[in-house]
Chain A
Amino acid sequence: MSIGSIPLRYKVSIDPEQCMLCGRCVDNCSYGVYRMEGDKIRINSRNCVACHRCTAFCPRDAISIHEKPTDYRSHPVWTRKIRENIFNQAKTGKIILAGMGNALPWPMIFDRLVLDACQVTNPSIDPLREPMELRTYLGKKPASLTLLESKKGDVELLTKLTPNLQIETPIMIGHMSYGAISLPAQQALARAVSRTGTFMGTGEGGLHESLYPYQKNIIVQVASGRFGVDINYLERGAAIEIKIGQGAKPGIGGHLPGEKICADVACTRMIPEGSDAISPTPHHDIYSIEDLKQLVRSLKEATEWKKPVFVKIAAVHNVAAIAAGVARSSADAVVIDGFRGGTGAAPVVFRDHVGIPIEAAIASVDAKLRSQGIRNEVSVIASGGIRQSADVAKIICLGADAVYIGTAALVAMGCRVCGTCNRGVCAWGIATQKPELTQRLDPETNAVQVENLIHGWTLELAELMGAAGINSIESLRGNRDRLRGYMLDEGLLNVLDVKTIGA
């Protein structure tokens, strides 16, 4: 093999002054970095992925992990990653796969948007003292209400309302399947959402029976592979989400490597154990926008029109037109997953190069739906790289009703975003099915952590709203005037319909 070995990604070292030879690093690392040999700990840095399980459990802070210990000649065009991808493909001839979301340094639009606050002309509202209304309803809204007033003065509502989901905070947990993540991880998320009055998604792995007690807060996904989809599944969900695509890999289906299909995952998905679970690219019964309407209605018929049906699409170039089509398909919400969306496994070329940022997608979808007078037909849910409460506030200002978080929820459970989910040996017990690893994840302590995250962000959101003189979330939604672009070009400012700072 003429390429030889590529340099170490990380150099791991243990400070002998600090180390007490407790061996926790050896026990915890699932990637094979540490080995106890007599009274010495042997390190194989080549295996390290910087998941930090060892440093998190070292009682003496004795471990150091340094990235890129060996320098390439630096080059702006032929970056380290580019060179190493070529080495990989020269050796294997295959598609490079990885986990998590976009890893290229595309400019972050969220970080070029600033929020407004009130001064004098409009007073701020203190959320400690005044009620902040963050409750959000997701679903189809009536264009108008028809009321009938009786002679006695009683008012009767004649308009029939379509079922909506009621969430107490605009933050929901996105679809991460059982298979992509472990069962204890899903159980932690389920407990967290039921306690915070919001929802989580099943992803395309079906609904495990241990989650049935939480089904009132679970949205069931119907993806192209139809894994785990039967009438029992549909009836249990509080809502149903048709997954057309996801931001991490627009245009291709889900991919769960056979290593992660243990007996239980196979049972929940209703496929053979150990086989790869590949979801087809399109749903093979939807080949056009008219067919989407059929699928939406088939799900509503199956569940007697009692549940909202969402449609999830990846943010691609003409996402606004597609969303307008979704809005006319009887769907109750359109979920848009931006190009920074995470995944358990995706071809790197798709993950990093296909799709558009969620900020631009939501802005154009919201504008398009309003211009066609159909914004009330669907709620708009944003996902793909929502990292903090400021992102939530900004994406709501750009037109979203609510957000789905994925990666952030996993980070709240200890994930360090090492990006090797597809290998199924996650040391945190999150993105793996190996029992010796999944048992590390305690559903209760992790549920509290995720709950804390949602709670902290919700408090911050309330503060941001109060400072902007707003006390109801409906007044933040689509309110482009509360944003300003800081060093965004004119074209993008027009798409976002946001003015520049100072204007």
Chain B
Amino acid sequence: MSTVTIDAKNLHYTPLNQRIRQEVEKGAKEIVINNVLGQRFIGDGLRGDGVTITVNGVPGGDLAMFMSGPTIIVHGNADHAPGNTMDKGMVVIHGSAGDAVAHSMGGGRIYVRDNIGYRGGIHMKRYLEKRPVLVVGGSARAFLGESMAGGIIIVLGLNGARPFAEQGVGSGIHGGEIFVRGPVDDLCLGNGSRQAPVTDEQKEMIRPIIEDFARSFGIDPASLLASEYTRIAATSARPFASKYT
């Protein structure tokens, strides 16, 4: 089946999503949506392994929310919470994204070429083999990995950006790992998190992820793989245990 093209100009998100679902049901594997400008919930709750949707323009909030299977590629900036409670699949953003990226994500991958906003990866969770991954090429703002319960976040600080220089990274983290390329100031750490230089074993674990990220954006991974990384993780799986009697 050939590529399906949808013109989203002046189209409300409900008829847009209905159209996408219809095409997926009919067997489409490649869908291109043009003139996207602010439509929210694109790919919301969508299933379909092997389906790739290309979004040209600036989608609105909650892109790929509850999505379970497809791949969405965005040529433009994403807005609030792309990958919100996403379960399976892939989101690749050739641009930046807003706050709460990958909020409550339970599986799948999100790659953001440039920067993300506040509370990235908040409440990401892992269960058995379902392990969510968020990779950010540029920088992330405060409260990265807030209340993280599982999964992996990597921030690379490409093009001279400081990957993380605000407050509260891993605030309330009780599972999962955050990898920042370069050093992280102790003052930046959130409640319940601790930092350590990455071990060789851990570096090996994230290597294929960094390589895949680099491939998605046509970047040479060599310098990324050669760099030093800081790993931020929980001091305890039970951050509330010491509070209650």
Contacts and interface: CB of A to CB of B under 8 A. Distances in A.
Interface residues of B, number: 14
Contacts of B172: 126, 128-129
B171 A129 contact: yes
A129 B191 contact: yes
Interface in B224-245: 239-240, 243, 245
A459 B168 CA distance: 19
Interface in B178-218: 190-192
Interface string A125-141: 01011110000000000
Main secondary structure of the interface of A (DSSP, over half): loop
Contacts of B41: none
Interface in A102-139: 126, 128-131
Nearest to A126: B172
A130 B142 CA distance: 11
Interface string B61-92: 00000000000000000000000000000000
A131 B187 CA distance: 13
A131 B191 CA distance: 9
Contacts of B168: 129-131
| Interface core residue of A128, A456, A459 (most chain B CB under 10 Å) | A128
B146 interface: yes
B147 interface: yes
B237 to A, nearest CB: 14
B143 interface: yes
Interface residues of A, number: 7
Nearest to B171: A129
B243 A129 contact: no
B243 A459 contact: yes
Nearest to A459: B243
Contacts of A129: 143, 146-147, 168, 171-172, 190-191
Interface in B153-193: 167-168, 171-172, 190-192
Contacts of B147: 126, 129
A128 B240 contact: yes
A492 B191 CA distance: 42
Nearest to B242: A459
B121 to A, nearest CB: 13
Interface in A449-501: 456, 459
Interface in A368-412: none
Contacts of A130: 143, 168, 171
A131 B166 CA distance: 13
Nearest to A127: B191
Nearest to B190: A129
Nearest to B167: A131
A131 B168 CA distance: 9
A129 B88 CA distance: 27
B190 to A, nearest CB: 7
A129 to B, nearest CB: 4
Contacts of B192: 128
Interface string B116-151: 000000000000000000000000000100110000
24 contacts: A126-B147, A126-B172, A128-B171, A128-B172, A128-B191, A128-B192, A128-B239, A128-B240, A128-B243, A129-B143, A129-B146, A129-B147, A129-B168, A129-B171, A129-B172, A129-B190, A129-B191, A130-B143, A130-B168, A130-B171, A131-B167, A131-B168, A456-B245, A459-B243
Given A129-B146, A129-B168, A130-B168, 19 more contacts: A126-B147, A126-B172, A128-B171, A128-B172, A128-B191, A128-B192, A128-B239, A128-B240, A128-B243, A129-B143, A129-B147, A129-B171, A129-B172, A129-B190, A129-B191, A130-B143, A130-B171, A131-B167, A459-B243
Closest 8 A/B residue pairs (Cβ): A129-B172, A129-B171, A128-B172, A129-B146, A129-B147, A128-B191, A459-B243, A128-B239
